[in-house]
């Protein structure tokens, strides 16, 4: 189904709870028919909180004075082995945009993980040179995540100041490069950024389809008290009354549901941000309204505290064992099963 941007906008903003209930039921049905009841688990490993960018929403941007870390190769490998021991078919290596994570170092790490565990490896290391993406793909990396965050070019530029001497990043172009290199490609957006309108959020959903994404990550924008958005609100005016998208659980869930309708075969996680904005229901609702992936955090605890892209992220610190136990209960209640194997995106494998 490919609803028009106007229909998407109406479904996002419809105040009728009955309409939302129908959207959720339809998304859940499409999810079951397209990707089944398996929920795939990915071990998230946050390799480094160094970052050269100054994204206005982010708690670890370059201008912030926070303790910085890079995981050692040993720590990164140990985290990947734990993911394998838990039966997770893949790991996600994520970091700030950190030039200190050198091309060769990442390539070796990817090779080592693939050699030792056979897991699928997903990278999420920001905007890098084409040569980096090539080298990592050759080293065996399977997937790449690079959210476009918002399809509104003006809003994108406002919240992503370009670096001195550099042109503004062109994530559309980079996503094309990644696709050309044979990666499974993931992107996504934040919901409720100050200045984001319903029409622009509808544009984000339409873009998921246009980019034919294999993976789609969606979460509510969570204000970080030390981010530029919080410190200089005057620079980031909200959209006029009635047009501003709220950063709430309901709107994030509707966006997830619509993502499932426009890209039935994609892998769509119930994200940490969604789980955090409503600790009671966020993850469960995500899974019941279109999502089929969960990404438990396997970053060593002393580093996880420092990867605070949004506040209270570290409150989610729980041992991986505790997370697994709670997840199994939650999934059983939802009538879902834990997927085994790599959990490749069917949107990707269907084309092979
Ligand atoms: N609130 C919500 N999501 C955030 N991200 C980064 N900072 C925040 C925030 N303050 C999201 C971005 C990024 C992903 C890793 O986390 O979408 O791509």
pLDDT per residue as tens digits for the range 272-301: 999 999 988 999 999 999 999 999 999 998
Ligand 1 pocket test, candidate residues 227, 273, 274, 282, most atoms within 8 A of CB: 273
Span 200-222, mean pLDDT?
98
Give the pLDDT confidence of 312-351 residue by residue, as tens digits: 765 556 778 888 888 999 999 999 999 999 999 999 999 9
For residue 195, how far is its CA from the centre of ligand 1 (angstroms)? Answer: 16
Residue 184: the pLDDT is 98
Residue 232: the pLDDT is 95
Q: Alpha-carbon distance 166 to 324, whole Å? A: 43
Nearest ligand 1 atom, CA 124 = 15
Span 46-64, mean pLDDT?
95
For residue 190, how far is its CA from the centre of ligand 1 (angstroms)? Answer: 7
Cβ(171) – ligand 1 distance below 6 Å: no
Measured by CA distance, the residue closest to atom 3 of ligand 1 is 221
Cβ(174) – ligand 1 distance below 6 Å: no
Residue 325 φ/ψ, nearest 5 degrees:
-65, -45
Residue 1: the pLDDT is 65
For residue 18, how far is its CA from the centre of ligand 1 (angstroms)? Answer: 30
Cβ(283) – ligand 1 distance below 6 Å: no
Average pLDDT value over all residues in the chain? 95
Task: Say if residue 18's pLDDT is above 60.
Answer: yes
Residue 313: the pLDDT is 65
Span 191-197, mean pLDDT?
98
Q: Alpha-carbon distance 93 to 95, whole Å? A: 7
- Using pLDDT thresholds of 50, 70 and 90, give the confidence band for residue 303: very high
Domain boundaries, the chain: 5-342
Span 160-189, mean pLDDT?
94
For residue 206, how far is its CA from the centre of ligand 1 (angstroms)? Answer: 20
| Domain 5-342, CATH number (from 3.20.20.70, 3.30.420.40, 3.40.50.2020, 3.40.50.1220) | 3.20.20.70
Residue 135: the pLDDT is 98
Residue 314: the pLDDT is 59
Ligand 1 pocket test, candidate residues 49, 58, 308, most atoms within 8 A of CB: 58
pTM equals 0.97
Alpha helix stretches (DSSP H) within the chain: 5-13, 17-35, 73-85, 103-117, 130-138, 153-159, 171-180, 198-210, 228-231, 249-262, 272-277, 282-288, 301-304, 320-333, 346-349
For residue 58, how far is its CA from the centre of ligand 1 (angstroms)? Answer: 7
Task: Say if residue 256's pLDDT is above 60.
Answer: yes
Spatial contact of 125 and 107, defined as CB atoms under 8 Å apart: no
Residue 74: the pLDDT is 98
Could you write out the three-class secondary structure of 148-161?
CECCCHHHHHHHCC
Residue 220: the pLDDT is 98
Q: Alpha-carbon distance 144 to 137, whole Å? A: 9
Give the pLDDT confidence of 77-135 residue by residue, as tens digits: 999 999 999 999 999 999 999 999 999 999 999 999 999 999 999 999 999 999 999 99
Closest by CA to 309, choosing from 124, 78, 156, is 124
Nearest ligand 1 atom, CA 222 = 1
Nearest ligand 1 atom, CA 145 = 18
């Amino acid at each position: 189904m490919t609803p028009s941007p106007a229909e998407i906008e109406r479904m996002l903003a419809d105040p009728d709870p009955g309409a939302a209930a129908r959207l959720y039921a339809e998304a859940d049905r499409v999810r079951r028919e397209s990707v089944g009841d398996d929920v795939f688990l990915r071990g998230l490993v946050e390799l480094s909180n160094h970052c050269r960018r100054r994204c206005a929403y982010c708690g670890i941007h370059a201008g912030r004075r926070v303790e910085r870390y890079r995981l050692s190769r040993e720590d990164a490998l140990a985290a990947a082995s734990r993911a394998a021991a838990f039966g997770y078919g893949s790991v996600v290596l994520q970091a700030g945009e950190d030039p200190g994570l050198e091309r060769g170092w990442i390539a070796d790490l990817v090779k080592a993980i693939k050699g030792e565990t056979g897991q699928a490896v997903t990278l999420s290391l920001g905007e890098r040179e084409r040569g980096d993406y090539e080298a990592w793909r050759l080293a065996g990396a399977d997937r790449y995540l690079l959210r476009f965050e918002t399809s509104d070019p003006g809003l994108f530029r406002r919240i992503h100041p370009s670096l001195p001497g550099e042109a503004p990043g062109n994530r559309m172009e980079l996503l094309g490069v990644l696709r050309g290199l044979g990666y499974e490609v993931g992107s996504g957006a934040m919901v409720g950024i100050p200045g984001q309108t319903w029409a622009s959020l509808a544009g984000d959903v339409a873009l998921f389809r246009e980019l034919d994404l294999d993976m789609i990550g969606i979460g509510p924008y969570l204000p970080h008290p030390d981010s530029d958005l919080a410190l200089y609100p005057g620079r980031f005016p909200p959209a006029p009354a009635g047009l501003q998208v709220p950063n709430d659980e309901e709107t994030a869930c509707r966006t997830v549901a619509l993502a499932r309708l426009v890209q039935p075969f994609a892998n769509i996680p119930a994200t940490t941000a969604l789980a955090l904005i409503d600790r009671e229901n966020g993850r469960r609702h995500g899974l019941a309204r279109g999502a089929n992936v969960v990404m438990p955090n396997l970053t060593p605890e002393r580093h996880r505290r420092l990867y605070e892209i949004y506040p209270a992220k570290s409150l989610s610190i729980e041992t991986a064992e505790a997370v697994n136990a709670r997840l199994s209960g939650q999934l059983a209640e939802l009538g879902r099963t834990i997927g085994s194997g790599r959990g490749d995106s069917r949107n990707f494998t269907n084309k092979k």
